[in-house]
Amino acid sequence: MNELLNYDIKTISEVKGAPMVSIYASKKSGILDTRSLNDLWKEILHKVESILLKDFTRTFVHSFLEPLAIDNLLAKCESIDKGIVIFYNSKFQGYVRVQTEIDDLIIVADSFHVKPLLRIKNNERGFVILTMSMKTIGLFTEKDGHLYKLKEFKNTAIDANVDVDTNKYPREHPKEFFSQMATELNKIVNSLQLPVILAGVKDHLGHMKKFLNSPLVVEGAIVGNVERLKINELRERAYNIVVPYYKLKEKESLVDLDKAINQNHAVTYIEDIALSAVQGKVKKLYVVENRHLWGRVNKITGEVFISPRQINSHEDDILDDLSQIVLLKGGDVVVIKNVENMKGYYAAAVVTDRSHLYDLNASTSLAH
């Protein structure tokens, strides 16, 4: 099974071939030894099997799950990882390691379940770390849990100006060095459009903040001698800063939703959201992660079929289906953790217009 380093939600959403198994496994605290992790994985597979047996023969189920019966899968998680997400069907298999808290979840349906992964992506959609010292400035970017060095600038003047008597660098050199690199740094940072986390000693942080003109520089910083920090420690400390940053962005987004509802630019009925989604009228969809609305959505007409619960392995979470439809139509999706934050709504959509909701022939025309 391959790690999906550059996973694309759209690509995962387009995979066909039921049954589709989506597994969200959190790395529980205290379970560190390989044997316990393997037992946990066997327990997960047993739950998947019980769902599949509702609709398929035991022979098929055993054959279908055989490639998943591998040891040490959960052990692939590193110390910083909070869990692992696995997508599997007869033609596609891969996993994503995640660095924020996730809830255990097993979904077997006619499509992969991406809603929690969307939330993870919303809260980990990348960041830039700008490290600075007397000698160098480094730019690192995060993608899918991995840290990559984008650029490094060396202070070429520093060795030539070292004080021979004290073997120390003049205090004014960092400021001059940062000033010289400011234009190039601003160009790179602004092109990436990602939050920027500064890392360095306090004196250097103060100087660099004066030269960066990006509004994406976050309030928190990694304070300390970056030359002594290991890459994993740098990454972990960055996550401690960026996760609250994205939570704040989520709150700001909910304020925008309230405004849209008050101005009659949003819809909250599932049937209206579905019809808007299939017609490409949804600019931004808001759904609750820890709520499921079982059934199906006709992806041509927008007709919704709701079940009281997940009856079999073909039933999908309608909220997840709507998310995928909106993404494929070019809209944005925001996944909210708790229903209370959505004022009781399971879903809401900001739409381009509402005219289609009053067209009695809309569903008929979509079907032809």
Cα 26 to chain center, whole Å?
Answer: 15
Question: Tens digit of pLDDT for each residue in 83-99?
Answer: 889 999 998 988 888 87
Q: In the chain, what are the domains?
A: 2-122 (3.30.960), 128-246 (3.30.420.60), 264-366 (3.30.1330.30)
Q: Is 294 left (phi over 0), alpha (psi -120 to 50) or beta?
A: beta
Confidence at 119, pLDDT banded by 50, 70, 90: confident
Q: Give the pLDDT band of residue 191 (cuts 50, 70, 90).
A: confident
CA distance 257 to 286: 8
Chain segment 169-184, per-residue pLDDT in tens? 555 557 788 888 988 9
Of the candidates 111, 47, 120, 121, the residue with the CA atom closest to the CA atom of residue 319? 111
